[in-house]
A and B are shown apart, each in its own frame.
Chain A
Amino acid sequence: MNTIYLYHDNFISLLCLIDYLLKNKIKPDNIKDTSYNATLLDEVIFLKIKEDSNIINKIKKNYSYRIFKIMYEVYLSNHDNKELIIYYFFLNTLKYHQDVIYHRNLRCVNLALKIAKQVGNEAHKLKGFLRFKELKNHILYAEIAPDNNVIYLLALHFKRRLPHEYFIIKDKKRNIYSLYDKKEVYLISEDNFNLNEVETSQEEKQIADLWKNFYQTIGIKERKNERCRMNFMPKKYWQYIIEMEDEL
């Protein structure tokens, strides 16, 4: 039998569950969110634990901001066993405190660091590759389909960057939207949000064409280097980068 512990699909719930398991010296076979489809071999346990957002401050204070960030980034990843990785990373953090990040000889620590880095990298890349278009009502709208769940990180970035613009970012893979109303960033699932009108504004095509033309012009043909471009700008992102549409 596999003992699987469940948490509500949010980061605080997961941290509180892991904290509880560690305090009670319980070693789970896996940890999954409530959408998990149990098999015949699973024993599924859903504990009633008080969920307190203070746990985040505790981690930042007792260990470091970096430790919190690593856990959060792993949580945002698309790794199958991300919860278990956070569990073991947390376990080692109890032992080594903020120095845990130097123990790369431990598999779970190394894995957590690697995954966190991948998530951070993807978020950083998309800060550049995301393309807004202006809708008829002047709202900025962008679609992405990242490997990891980085939409919230992106929305926070654009909130700082364009504080006086309304924007909507859609994650097509996860069917979630991030909205910004010039005050706060909200995350909303498709079920609660209906966006049927994505008609772009009149000048949109003109500006996009101007940009595409600039993109074509700026490349130096004597230096053409397809492999180098692909390394920096992987093809999986091209579908949302408007200047690449024609090359797909």
Chain B
Amino acid sequence: MEIKEKLQILADSAKYDASCSSSGSKRQNAFGNTSFSGICHSFSADGRCISLLKILMTNCCIYDCKYCLNRKSNNVKRALFTPEEICSITLNFYRRNYIEGLFLSSGIIKNADYTMELMIKTIHLLRHKYHFGGYIHAKAIPNCSEVLLKKLGLLVDRLSANVELPTEQSLKLLAPNKETKKVENIMSYIKNNKSRKFTPAGQSTQMIIGATKENDLDIMQKSENMYQNYNLKRVFYSAYIPVNKDKLLPSLTTPPLVREHRLYQTDWLLRYYHFKTKDILDEEHPNLNLLLDPKAFWALNHLEEFPKEINTASYYDLLKVPGIGVKGARRIISSRQHFKITFKDLKAMGIVLKRAKYFITCNHKYFTNLSYFKKNFIEANLVLEDKIPPINSNKQLSFFE
């Protein structure tokens, strides 16, 4: 098989993995280095960043996960890269600045350890024969032995294992060969051994959204637990895209992209804004609002905490204001020690007032008459402002299932 065809098959099967970040590691070698903030080299037609050569070692697989293109029972063309082939493509692409490094995952060929050994051989060649210093993200194969996990972790910047689905029941249903426990073992091994030499950029994981019946509360609780227990850098949410037909799988016409977006926003609230899942979702409201972002929705339902005075509110209170992010809050805190902030100053500081203005005062002044500070007025305006997509309005609407 020609290398071009191989690359096509093995990139095509790897593309559903959402992770492509190249940040969090400082490495310098004779051929290449990493940038701590990460660098995006291109953006694919779906708007996702391309920073790594994202490929599978092979798409042969002994497993039969219902949602996966490469499941055993699918009749698709199979390919297997040799370690030298992967090295050659990676180095040639890296040298021309197409990529920041390699993302290597794999279907399971023969058994977990055999597959891991192939991956280790490849990455070992890159690091030690070619002195490659670029970013490498590898997927650990569940069920592999700890010795191999250790070997691989010492070679790569990031090592990760995908939980795939939010609950054990779903996993049993759709991925009968996988067990949550096995993935969790890998995650705790990585957590316990992380150092400057072992997976310096930490670990991440991925969940498929919308293939099974879990609600947003289930999903976010799972994420929250994983962030707490395994120090994950990121949880990626991947809107389910039907690639196989199976009676156990839902039949969707479009992937639930808006829902995925809201989950990411909630994820950000957990990681950077000191929110807890229970602040945003509960048994009575187990799903995120699709019309409003989760912070705005939360604020609307906690109007008693607002408006916040920009010149005196604490950092944590500023973070609760819709439209104010981590950078904005920091900027406000450092500036207000030097002068009293007005609405005009906020604008100059680059803080977007579109949402924020409803929830703040500057020197005790509201942006309009304070009698407008009412739930229905604010809600109507927030929804309206969100609803005016500049172009392609019909395309946007089709996102809603």
Contacts and interface: CB of A to CB of B under 8 A. Distances in A.
Q: Are A and B bound to each other?
A: yes
Contact of A213 (B7, B35, B41, B391): B7
B12 A128 contact: no
A158 B7 CA distance: 27
A160 B26 CA distance: 12
Interface string A37-80: 00000000000000000000000000000000000000000000
Given A213-B8, A219-B45, A128 B95 contact: no
Given A213-B7, A215-B42, A219-B45, A207 B93 contact: yes
Interface stretch (B220-228, B265-273, B305-313, B331-339): B331-339
Max count, chain A CB within 10 A of own CB: residue among B54, B96, B255, B349: B96
Max count, chain B CB within 10 A of own CB: residue among A104, A129, A133: A104
B241 A110 contact: no
Nearest to B345: A105
Given A102-B338, A215-B50, A207 B96 contact: yes
A217 B12 contact: yes
Given A104-B335, A132-B97, A225-B47, A220 B33 contact: no
Nearest to A206: B4
Interface stretch (A4-12, A22-30, A187-195, A227-235): A227-235
Contacts of A219: 15, 44-46, 48
A105 B345 CA distance: 6
Contacts of B338: 96, 99, 102-103
Contacts of B239: 223
B201 to A, nearest CB: 17
B329 to A, nearest CB: 14
A221 interface: yes
B257 interface: yes
13 contacts: A103-B339, A105-B339, A105-B348, A124-B37, A134-B96, A158-B97, A165-B95, A217-B12, A220-B48, A223-B48, A226-B392, A228-B46, A229-B47
Nearest to A165: B95
Given A128-B40, A128-B41, A217 B11 contact: yes
Contacts of B50: 215, 218
A102 B348 CA distance: 12
Contacts of B100: 128
Nearest to A164: B30
B323 interface: no
Interface string B82-116: 00000001001101111010000000000000000
A241 B42 contact: yes
Given A132-B97, A210-B4, A104 B46 contact: no
Given A104-B349, A162-B31, A221 B95 contact: no
A71 B12 CA distance: 46
Contacts of A214: 7-8, 11, 53
Contact of B31 (A107, A164, A209): A164
A162 B97 CA distance: 10
B89 A210 contact: yes
A213 B4 contact: yes
A33 interface: no
B24 interface: no
Nearest to B37: A124
A73 to B, nearest CB: 16
A104 B15 contact: no
A107 B326 CA distance: 23
Interface of A: 96, 99, 102-105, 107, 110, 114, 124, 127-134, 140, 142, 158, 160-165, 207-211, 213-215, 217-229, 231-233, 241, 243
Interface in B1-26: 3-4, 7-8, 11-12, 15-16
B28 A140 contact: no
B136 to A, nearest CB: 15
Given A129-B41, A219-B15, 11 more contacts: A104-B348, A107-B348, A128-B39, A131-B98, A165-B95, A214-B11, A217-B8, A218-B15, A220-B16, A225-B47, A228-B43
A99 B337 CA distance: 10
Contacts of A132: 95-97
B46 A140 contact: no
Interface in B215-253: 239, 241
Max count, chain A CB within 10 A of own CB: residue among B16, B46, B337, B350: B46
B288 interface: no
Nearest to B39: A128
B199 interface: no
Nearest to A109: B348
Contacts of A160: 28, 33
Contacts of B98: 131, 211, 243
B61 interface: no
Nearest to A228: B47
Given A104-B335, A218-B15, A218-B44, A227 B392 contact: yes
B51 interface: yes
A129 B93 CA distance: 13
A168 to B, nearest CB: 13
A178 B41 CA distance: 21
A130 B33 contact: no
B47 A232 contact: yes
A208 to B, nearest CB: 8
B107 to A, nearest CB: 17
Given A102-B334, A102-B335, A160-B28, A232 B49 contact: yes
A199 to B, nearest CB: 16
Contact of A140 (B30, B40, B53, B96): B96
Contacts of B35: 127
